[in-house]
Amino acid sequence: MLKVELGDFDYAKIVPLSDLHIGDLDFDEKILLKYLKQAEEDNCFILLNGDMIEMATKDSVGDIYGQVLSSEKQYDKLGDLLTPYKHKILVATEGNHEYRQYKNTGLSSKRFYASLNIPFYPDEAWLKITVGRKKKNNKPVAYSVYMIHGHGGGRRTGSKANRLEDLGNGRFADLFIRSHTHWQMIFPDTYEMPNMYADRIRKVPRLFVNTGCFVGSRYAIRHEYKKSTLGTPLIYLNGREKRIKAEVSVEAVYEKR
């Protein structure tokens, strides 16, 4: 478990970024920059949850001929975009597009993230994030976070939601973050825990967040998927009492097609 102390803020804003697909012709740098720039605010931090690069190879489902940057240049571009904010990036995982590189070459993104000093967990990340001080006892507010890129999701919103909800089967976290489906989604549930000392049932809220994407709709059109809304949800961790809020943000996009 990675322990992260964010500092004494009323709240911390978390921007979970994934599915940039740098190298794809439809990668939308302008919209990504709007999200990255938020990390200039003291209390704003970034998570990276995979598919940062396209990494189409000759035997992958990705469009190797539609790729506009070589694999090496995709990492160069990602490095250029992340470097100004690297001190605000809490952790990085890998998606299926980075895993493709590992499967073909044995090389992961480990060295890339090490060069930026960003903690790297290729498969899944468990975090303990502390922020602020509780009003009632002056202790830091601690949040458990489970983050994974994910695999599969189906065509319809409901099937994507099922995959997100499944993260909560067999594990507890205050916040679950999944990506891969390019579909912004937020919902809560309640986890009941017996308190054997107080002889009561404690109902603990959990929040499920699916991150969005920063790549246009050509892939979706070809595969008859619903087209995604670009952007990603913003998550707010309260630093005075234990409470999480999240919001989806919608961006208007003009595509040449």
Question: Interface residues with Fe ion (CB under 5 A)?
Answer: 19, 51, 95-96, 180
Q: Which residues contact 41 (CB under 8 A, 6 or more apart)?
A: 13
**Least CB distance to Fe ion at residue 219 (A):** 9
Of residues 150, 153, 45, 28, the one with CA closest to residue 93: 150
Q: Please, what is the minimum distance in Å from the beta carbon of residue 97 to Fe ion?
A: 6
Closer residue to Fe ion in complex, CB, 51/174: 51
Q: Which residues contact 229 (CB under 8 A, 6 or more apart)?
A: 184, 212, 250, 251
Rounded to an integer, what distance in angstroms lies between the CA atom of residue 203 and that of residue 13? 25
**Closest CB to Fe ion: residue number:** 51
CB of 213 to Fe ion, least distance (A): 6
Smallest gap from Cβ 243 to Fe ion, in A, equals 30
At 26, the amino acid letter reads D
**CB closer to Fe ion, 44 vs 52:** 52
For Fe ion, the closer of residues 95 and 239 by Cβ is 95
Residue 206 neighbours by CB distance under 10 Å: 19
User: What's the order of all strands across the beta sheet hosting 141-148?
Assistant: 2-5, 124-131, 141-148, 175-178, 200-210, 185-195
Which residue, 13 or 21, is less far from Fe ion as judged by CB? 21
Least distance between Fe ion and beta carbon 99 (Å)? 9
Q: Where are the beta strands (DSSP E) in 30-154?
A: 44-49, 89-93, 124-131, 141-148
∠ CA 17-20-24, rounded to 5°: 180
Which is nearer to Fe ion, 28 or 51 (by Cβ)?
51
